[in-house]
Each structure stands twice: as C-alpha cells, then as structure tokens.
C-alpha cells in the first residue's frame, strides 16, 4: 500500500468510527427523551382532546375545518364557526378523567391570519351541575396552552368544556387539555 492509499484507508476508518458512535449517541438520546416523556405524562395525568383525532370531541351546528391554514394548530387543523348571535354552534370536549380531584383546564387555538377571530369567545367549563363561563381573546396567545382555570372534578360526574359561536367574531375549536394537579 502506498502512503496515499494508507492515508485514505485511515481517513475512511476514522469516518466510519465517528459515524458509528454518532448513531449510537443519537439513538440513545432519542430513547432517553421518549422514556422521559412517557414518565412525565403518566405522572401528571394529562388528558388532551383535539378536534381532529380524539373520541371525546363533538360538535353541533356549523363548523368548518381551516385545513391547517390558520397556522399554529394543535394537530392537523382547527374548526371554526362564523359569528352568530344565537350561539347555535357548539363544540364539546369531554375527558375521561382518571380520578377525582383538581384539574387545570387549558385551551389551544390556531392563528388568526384573516383577523376575524372573536376577542370575546365564550368557553364554558362544566363540572357536574356547575358551569363557569370564561371569555377568551382568540386574537392573541395563539398556538399555545392558555389556562381557563382550576376546577374540582369528580370522575363519575359530567365534566366537559363547551365553546359556542358568538356575535363578536369567529370562534375556534382546536384542543383542550386537562391536567390533574392534586386532590384538593
């Protein structure tokens, strides 16, 4: 082997070794992240219900998909209902709660590229026979979890979040999250 071939061989060998260890390191870190995510999810008892994929979601009246064009959607898309003073369109997110206790409830909604979303969108949190109305400004804080409040819930009772159309602008139905935060 002449010196050029030796150098080429050595160089290839080093590349192969570096590549081999990179693959192992990346694989291991993905595995760690996956394990961490699973551990975190089970510890916090978090339930997410999205319009596009989950059984706990249903609508009444007229809702249309934005096809993901609003941007900042949770999952593939969001639904929207035209402004309508009769509040005849409803979206309902019903969780299957693991246990009785306090839950923080969050809502996620997509972006507002046409500037026609409601600033005073009504979301109602129903807990058994009680109901709390929370007004949400859908023209800001899009594409993230926004807290509606902390609520005491019993798993045997009917607990759900309901959004209705309103005359202030378009209302969005995207995702809702329930996070168990303790017994009291």
CB contact at 8 A, 153 and 97: yes
User: What's the CA gap between 97 and 19, in Å, rounded?
Assistant: 46
- Cβ closer to Ca ion: 62 or 76? 76
- Cβ closer to Ca ion: 100 or 179? 179
- 138-142 long-range contacts (CB < 8 A, ≥24 apart) are 138/109, 138/112, 138/169, 138/170, 138/171, 138/172, 139/112, 139/115, 139/169, 142/71, 142/72, 142/109, 142/110, 142/111, 142/112
| Smallest distance from Ca ion to CB 86, Å | 25
| Smallest distance from Ca ion to CB 173, Å | 8
Cα atoms in the Cβ-side hemisphere of radius 13 Å centred on 49: 20
| Smallest distance from Ca ion to CB 89, Å | 17
* 91 three-class SS: strand
- Cβ closer to Ca ion: 68 or 101? 68
| Smallest distance from Ca ion to CB 67, Å | 11
Write out the residues near Ca ion by the rule CB under 5 A: 50-52, 73-75, 174
Residue whose beta carbon is closest to Ca ion: 75
- Cβ closer to Ca ion: 57 or 103? 57
Q: Return all residues near 140 (Cβ < 8 A) that are at least 6 apart.
A: none
- Cβ closer to Ca ion: 74 or 93? 74
| Smallest distance from Ca ion to CB 150, Å | 23
């Amino acid at each position: 082997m002449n010196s050029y071939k030796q150098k080429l061989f050595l160089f290839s060998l080093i590349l192969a070794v570096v590549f081999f260890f990179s693959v192992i390191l990346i694989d291991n870190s993905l595995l760690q992240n996956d394990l961490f995510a699973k551990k975190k999810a089970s510890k916090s008892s978090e339930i997410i219900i999205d319009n596009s994929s989950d059984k706990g979601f249903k609508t009444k009246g007229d809702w249309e998909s934005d096809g993901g064009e609003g941007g900042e959607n949770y999952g593939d898309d969001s639904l929207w209902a035209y402004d309508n003073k009769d509040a005849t369109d409803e979206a309902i997110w019903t969780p299957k709660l693991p246990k009785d206790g306090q839950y923080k409830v969050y809502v996620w909604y997509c972006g507002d590229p046409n500037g026609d979303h409601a600033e005073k969108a009504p979301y109602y949190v129903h807990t058994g026979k009680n109901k709390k109305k929370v007004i949400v400004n859908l023209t800001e804080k899009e594409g993230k979890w926004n807290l509606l409040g902390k609520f005491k819930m019993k798993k045997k009772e009917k607990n759900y979040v309901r959004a209705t159309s309103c005359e202030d602008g378009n209302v969005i139905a995207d995702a809702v999250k329930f996070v168990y935060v303790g017994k009291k």
